[in-house]
Amino acid sequence: MYTFRPLLVKLVPKVRLKGLTLVGTVMVLFTVFLAILAPILTPYDPTKSVDLSLQPPSWKHPFGTNKVGQDMWSRTVYGARTILAVVFLSTIVSIVIGVPLGLVSGYVGGILDRVLAMIMDAMYAFPGLILAIAIAAAMGPGIINTAVSIAIVYVPTYFRMVRGQTLSIKEQLYVEAARAIGAKPLTILTRYVFPNVVSVIAVVFTLSVADVVLTEAALSFFGLSVPAPTPDWGFDLKAGHPYLLSGYWWLITFPGLMIMILAVGFTFIGEGVAEYLGAREVKI
């Protein structure tokens, strides 16, 4: 555990200096800010019909109202909560499943490793969204179900990176030394391998989280995410789409813009991290 904090401390200041990364961090923090302060920032309940439908943006409704008469501003702000919750949950599940599997597979090796790696590689090559769609469709709506569907898609990513890192650490002298003194595999894994793997997990996260955001947006676009009245940007996009032809532009602009801000923000942060690690061999 003692290697964890110094690594983080080293990583953060170096990365923040680049212009793009700063912009990205701002974008993400802005979204988080919206999510946290949602009740204060919004005058209306996003799930209730509060006015006439399809009103263009005005002082009363800065983002207009949708077909059902809900205030788009409130829906957009609260939507941040939904998406961030799903992203957060699914990342935790991916890590909880993928990391231990990667550790064990990498460390133990043999047939178990071969088989597991083969399965994970097959999953990794498959279009994630389609897999997520299949799983979400089978599981039904709900925030937990959606998070699990997405989580399963990203397990192979975490698995591969952790396994790779474990494999290279396994060869290090100090691990051999530990084995020589008779340390149990579990001890070696937790005390020696894991702390070095933590930084890799962080990297995988920053590089793949934009993807997770887009996957959630896609799932909610297809109606496979959280159920109806809960505000969700992808869902609003789908709902507002039919009215585009008649010129009701505000229905899709703002939710879509928010998706972009969050996804691009995470991407910029990821770019910064990737550049910092440029010389090292971290590849996804």
Partner 1 sequence: MLKFLFLKVTRIFSETEVASLKAFIIARALALIPTVLILVTLVFFVMRVLPGDPVIAIVGMKAPPERVIELKKELGLMDEAGNPIPLPIQYLNYLSKLVRGDFGKSLIWGKRPVLVEIMEHFPATVELAIAGFIVSIILGLVLGSLGGWMGGKTSSAVKTYGAITYALFIPWIGMLFQLLFAVWLGILPVAGRIDTGLEPPTITGLYLIDSVITGRWDSFMSALRHITLPALTLGLVISGVFTRVTRTSVEEVMRQDFVVAARARGIPEHKILLHVLKNSFVPILTMMGLQLALLMTGAVLTETTFSWPGMGTFLLERIQYRDYTTVQGTVVFFAIIVSLVNLIVDICYAYIDPRIRY
Q: Would you say 198 and 191 are in contact if contact means Cβ atoms under 8 Å apart?
A: no
232 binds partner 1 (CB under 8 A): no
Structure tokens at 81: 């909560």
Torsion sign across C-alpha atoms 57, 61, 62, 65: negative
Closest contact distance (angstroms) between CB of 155 and partner 1 is 11
Q: Which stretch binds partner 1 (CB under 8 A): 5-13, 100-108, 113-121, 184-192?
A: 113-121
End-to-end CA distance of the chain: 24
Judged by CB under 8 A, the residue of 25, 202, 238, 277 near partner 1 is 238
| Helix (H) and strand (E) counts in the chain | 12, 0
Q: Enumerate residues 6+ apart whose C-beta is below 8 A from 165.
A: 102, 106, 196, 197, 200
20 binds partner 1 (CB under 8 A): yes
217 binds partner 1 (CB under 8 A): yes
Judged by CB under 8 A, the residue of 139, 183, 202, 277 near partner 1 is 139
Judged by CB under 8 A, the residue of 32, 54, 85, 117 near partner 1 is 117
Binding mask 158-197 for partner 1 (x = CB under 8 A): ----------------------------------------
Q: Tell me the β-bridge partners of 71.
A: 65
Residue number, 33 or 249, with CB nearest to partner 1:
249
Torsion sign across C-alpha atoms 24, 29, 217, 53: negative
Q: Which stretch binds partner 1 (CB under 8 A): 76-84, 107-115, 173-181, 192-200?
A: 107-115
Q: What is the largest CA-CA distance in the chain?
A: 75
279 binds partner 1 (CB under 8 A): no
133 binds partner 1 (CB under 8 A): yes
- Cα 139 from chain centre: 20
Q: Which stretch binds partner 1 (CB under 8 A): 41-49, 94-102, 176-184, 256-264?
A: 256-264
CA nearest neighbour of 250 among 71, 79, 80, 78: 71
CA nearest neighbour of 235 among 60, 46, 30: 46
DSSP-derived letter for residue 183 is -
- For tokens 């923090």, name the residue: 29
121 binds partner 1 (CB under 8 A): yes
Q: Would you say 101 and 166 are in contact if contact means Cβ atoms under 8 Å apart?
A: no
CA distances from 218 to 178, 222, 267 (A): 47, 6, 17
Closest contact distance (angstroms) between CB of 266 and partner 1 is 7
Task: Give the C-alpha separation, 255 to 234, whole Å.
Answer: 7
Q: Which stretch binds partner 1 (CB under 8 A): 9-17, 33-41, 174-182, 214-222?
A: 214-222
Closest contact distance (angstroms) between CB of 173 and partner 1 is 26
φ, ψ of residue 45 to 5 degrees: the values are -80, 120
244 binds partner 1 (CB under 8 A): yes
Q: Which stretch binds partner 1 (CB under 8 A): 43-51, 97-105, 158-166, 245-253?
A: 245-253
The residues that touch partner 1, with contacts defined as CB under 8 A, are: 20, 111, 114-115, 117-119, 121-123, 125-131, 133-135, 137-140, 210, 214, 217-218, 221-224, 234, 237-238, 241, 244-245, 247, 249, 252, 256-257, 259-260, 263-264, 266-268, 271
